[in-house]
Amino acid sequence: MIRFRPLAAFALLLSLALPAAAEIRVTDILGREVVLEAPAKRIVLGEGRHMAVLGLLHDDPVALVAGWRLDKALDDPTLAAYREKFPAIDGIRPVGSGNRDISVETIIALDPDLVVLSLMDQGDPGMERARDQIETAGIPVAYVDFFAHPQENSIPSLRILGALTDGAGRAEDFAEFYETRLARIRERLADPGIPRPRVFFHVHAAPVNCCSTVGSGVFNDFIATAGGQNIGSEAVDGVLGNVSLEFLIGSDPDFYIATGGAHMAARGGLVLGTGVAEDDAKASFAALTGAPGFSSLRAAEEGRAHGVWHLFNDTPSHIALIEYLAKTFHPDLFPDVDPEGTLREIESRFSPVAVPGTWWVGTE
């Protein structure tokens, strides 16, 4: 007769009763399989701005981050808001700065359980070598994208991060919030008979060295989704290019939309975004639209010139910008759409911090 010792028998029964720890298997934005033994708790961010994305999924995203690359870092007002609530943010170890450089040695020394890279890292030879070395050291790497193709990839990327960090529920909540608003815009613009106004998007706008604009990519997608035609695509091959002020004036757009941020203050351009007071934003926009050439635009004369925060191009909160553009281009179709309310709801429901600022301005 085989006799079981009581403790051994108890251990056997316990092992049979408890489910085996399940691996987490996720397909990243490049179609690569990423496998974790458990939800990530020590993450290295390839872009500092992705802290704010983690903040949509977790009440304390700082506690999950061991290191970050300072390329595309959090802007100063957002960093200050996180620092005030989470002083531990100053303990996050830099693992690289600009020009897509990254320190493999520093990352391995941090012993992370996940490294998050951007779609923009794909194809860079240095980053490919770094990724290979990191994965050879046994550290999983996942790619996400909130910048190159935000309409297409932001929600899938949010779900990827949610699955890898035990934030899937919050990811689905935000996805529903986002997709409901996007569907409303698309449904109301579905009729092909609705006129599409001609739009000029002046990016990093300043009254000198005019004009940088977009041909394809992020802002072109936003314009099309909001029911406009991007006239920059008539003159620019690729994502970004320059046209003359004469081209802008001769094109006579129905709407002139400028983008800017705090980074434009040194160039005398459009200043708005995080930490910018409304009066300051309005003053910089008035200086831009009052400059020679710009002031003669029909869009400026007739109150169809607007300024928007450039960095909407790297956050899932860009849904509010799409709403703003749709309401601007087609006010009769979207009287009930409230872009400011959308941003307030994102802040109150999803973000762990509040960051003041001015996100758009218009001619009055």
Do the domain assignments include residue 175? no
Average pLDDT for 102-108: 96
Does 184 reside within a domain? no
Q: Model-level pTM?
A: 0.91
Segment 249-292, tens digit of pLDDT: 999 999 999 999 999 999 999 999 999 999 999 999 999 999 99
333 and 214 together in one domain: yes
Residues 120 and 267 placed together within one structural domain of the fold: no
Q: How far apart are CA 333 and CA 362, in angstroms?
A: 19
Q: What is the pLDDT of residues 288-317, one digit of tens each?
A: 999 999 999 999 999 999 999 999 999 999
The residue range of the domain holding 214 is 193-362
Same domain for 341 and 201: yes
Q: Look at residues 102, 131, 166 and tell me which one is the last residue of a structural domain.
A: 166
Closest to 215 measured CA to CA, from 197, 195, 191, 240 = 240
Whether residue 1 lies inside any domain: the answer is no
Residue 322 lies in a domain: yes
Q: What is the pLDDT of residue 20?
A: 44
Q: Give the per-residue pLDDT at 175.
A: 98
pLDDT at residue 99, rounded to an integer: 66
Give how many domains the chain has, as a whole number: 2
pLDDT band at 216 (very low <50, low <70, confident <90, very high): confident
Examine the domain organization and report whether 160 and 197 are in the same domain.
Answer: no
pLDDT tens track for 232-242: 988 888 888 99
**Does residue 200 sit in the same domain as residue 340?**
yes
What's the CATH code of the domain at 153? Answer: 3.40.50.1980
**Beta-bridge partner residues of 45:** 68, 116
Task: Return contacts of 173-181, CB within 8 angstroms, 24+ apart.
Answer: 173/349, 173/350, 174/56, 174/57, 174/316, 174/350, 177/345, 177/346, 177/349, 177/350, 178/154, 178/316, 178/319, 179/155, 181/319, 181/322, 181/323, 181/342
Give the mean model confidence (pLDDT) for residues 132-155: 96
Shared domain check, 217 and 68: no
| Amino acid (1-letter code) at residue 11 | A
In a domain? residue 240: yes
Question: Has residue 6 got a pLDDT over 50?
Answer: no
Element (H, E) at 255: strand 255-260
Burial of residue 122 (number of CB atoms within 10 Å: 0-12, 13-18, 19+): middle
Residue 211 amino acid letter:
C
| Residue 15: per-residue pLDDT | 39
Final residue of a structural domain among 148, 166, 184: 166
Considering the domain architecture, whether residues 227 and 273 belong to the same structural domain is answered as yes
* Mean pLDDT along residues 311-325: 96
Q: Is residue 326 part of a domain?
A: yes
Specify whether 227 is located in the same domain as 356: yes
